[in-house]
Amino acid sequence: MPLHSVYKLKTLIIMKKLKTLLMAVICLPFLMGAQESYRMVELSYMKVKPGMNAKFEAAIKAHNEKYHKEGKYGSALYSIVTGNEAGWYVWTMGGLTFTDLDGRPAAGAHDDDWSKTIEPFIAEYGRVEYWRMNDKLSFREENDDKMLSIWWMDITRGEYYRFKEFMLKVRAIHEKQSAGISVYDNEFSQNDGRDVAIVWSMPNWADMDKEDWKMQVEFDAMYGEGSWQLALEEWKDVMEAMTQEIWKEL
């Protein structure tokens, strides 16, 4: 075989191996992600016609009992009681995965029941969002609390890794105190300042008057004197904006 042909053949083999390696590197994160189990929640926002709240809530309760009683398609209804969207309802479904959405209750009796028993009371549909729980940043404590305090976070572009480092420290303190905290990532960006949700549950309004949670003291004790002040400076750098809401489960 001529020398130039041998050189050409070796070059082709090297390029083929390089292409295979490159494809493996590109696909690895997706393959790893596909193997991970996760918990995602669907949020659907609805505004009810004036004077129809009681009938709407009863209709949702009956519908959930038929089609969304438990499991991955289990649903709950929340009323937003503070913030810009106060007065809206949020219907939740999950935890589930994107694959589970392909088998969700839909066409047929389910959709017919929704359109006949619930839709007559709805004035407007709002957001539909999918939020994936970040297990590494969350410490879940099972309880029967019916209220949620939610912080919607707008993370500065490119600074999520710093936010994550801060929240890992906050999670460690929550775990030490056996206090639940849930962190969710928005699966679809709408450029509306809702990148991350931090959620705490509480039994009632009175819980907000308690003064037994000393984050600064605990933070400095765990990470060193002055750590909390440094963490607050970090927080300002990674956060564009934050809005807060209180939800009440019905």
Q: Are 195 and 243 in contact (CB under 8 A)?
A: no
Residue 250 has which token pair?
Answer: 């019905």
3-state helix vs strand vs coil in the chain, percent to 5:
45, 30, 25
pLDDT value of residue 210: 86
Separation between Cα atoms, residue 5 and residue 13, nearest integer Å: 12
How many residues are recorded in the chain?
A: 250
- DSSP structural state of residue 2: -
184: Cβ–Cβ under 8 A, 6 or more apart, which residues?
41, 131, 132, 133, 134, 196, 197, 199
CB atoms under 10 Å from CB of 129, counted, come to 19
SS3 per residue for 93-144? EEEECHHHHCCCCCCCHHHHHHHHHCHHHEEEEEEEEEEEECHHHCECCCCC
pLDDT value of residue 36: 65
Separation between Cα atoms, residue 244 and residue 82, nearest integer Å: 8
As beta bridge partners, residue 46 has 89, 125
Amino acid sitting at position 155: I
Separation between Cα atoms, residue 192 and residue 124, nearest integer Å: 19
pLDDT value of residue 140: 86
pLDDT value of residue 127: 96
At residue 82's C-alpha, the angle toward residues 191 and 53, to 5°, is 105
Could you give the domains of the chain? 37-132 (3.30.70.100), 134-250 (3.30.70.100)
Strand ranges in the chain using DSSP code E only, listed in sequence order: 40-48, 75-80, 89-96, 122-133, 147-155, 182-186, 196-202, 239-249
Separation between Cα atoms, residue 172 and residue 138, nearest integer Å: 9
Separation between Cα atoms, residue 144 and residue 233, nearest integer Å: 35
Separation between Cα atoms, residue 54 and residue 46, nearest integer Å: 14
Q: Give me the average pLDDT of each 10-residue run along the chain (250 residues).
A: 46 47 40 65 98 98 96 97 96 97 96 98 98 96 90 96 95 93 95 94 93 85 94 92 96
